[in-house]
Amino acid sequence: MELEHVLVVGAGQMGAGIAQVVAASGRRVSLYDAAPGAVDRGLESIRRSLEKLAEKGGADPDEVLARIDPVGDLVPAELMIEAVVEDAAVKEDLFRRADGILAAEAILASNTSSIPITSLAAATRRPARVIGMHFFNPVPVLKLVEVIRGLDTSDETAAAIVDDGRGTMCSVPARVPPGTSATVVSPAAAPSAPSSLFACPTESRLSLFGSRIVALSVTSSE
């Protein structure tokens, strides 16, 4: 599945960083934030970041920014990545709205670090096409993304997001036990977590946004 147009919802520090790396990968980005002035501030932040990276040989800031279009509401795209406030009700409402605007084959992704992907998927009519994409801050610098499957996330959706060099992601994603955070980076980051969580290769590649490393793929149990 071609994911050439990405809608990023939330223009704060995380959302702006996500928009930056997506645009830098050559894709078209629509950037939306409901808060007045947030998109303009996000674009200013992106420019500053790009200018710093350009001093070290990075992409031309104007070329990257030309791929980012500010929009006043949700718009159709092949992929939505949300990075709004970490509030389940807010995110569920957003996923409900996006489900009615984006095409049925579009993928809806969340940057959440704590809310079960399955609960967000339940707010839509496309649970098979909902997935977690947990970026780390600062996004343009830390090339790490956690991809989190909900209970109903399809293999097709996961494959569209993750490419570990063989064209597939982990064959048997680990399942997060009840009461365990849906997001775990590594055994070092969560030494008390059950070892059964670490079932997937730690050197998988997220080819979508410039070979970013996928730390872990898990299935939310809630």
pTM of the model: 0.82
Q: How far apart are CA 72 and CA 59, in angstroms?
A: 27
* pLDDT confidence band for 209 (50 / 70 / 90): low
Q: What is the CATH number of domain 5-163?
A: 3.40.50.720
Indicate left, alpha or beta for 210 from its phi (over 0: left) and psi (-120 to 50: alpha): left
* Element (DSSP H or E) covering residue 91: helix 88-101
Which residues make beta-bridge pairs with 217?
Answer: 147
Q: What percent of the chain has pLDDT over 70?
A: 73
CA distances for 112 relative to 76, 135, 146, 147, 182, angstroms: 21, 9, 10, 11, 9
**Where exactly are the structural domains of the chain?**
5-163
* pLDDT confidence band for 212 (50 / 70 / 90): low
What is the model's pLDDT at position 65?
98
Which value, in Å, is the radius of gyration of the alpha carbons in the chain?
16
Q: Helices 38-54 & 13-24, crossing angle to 10 degrees?
A: 50
pLDDT in tens, 81-117: 999 999 999 999 999 999 999 999 999 999 998 899 9
* pLDDT confidence band for 160 (50 / 70 / 90): confident
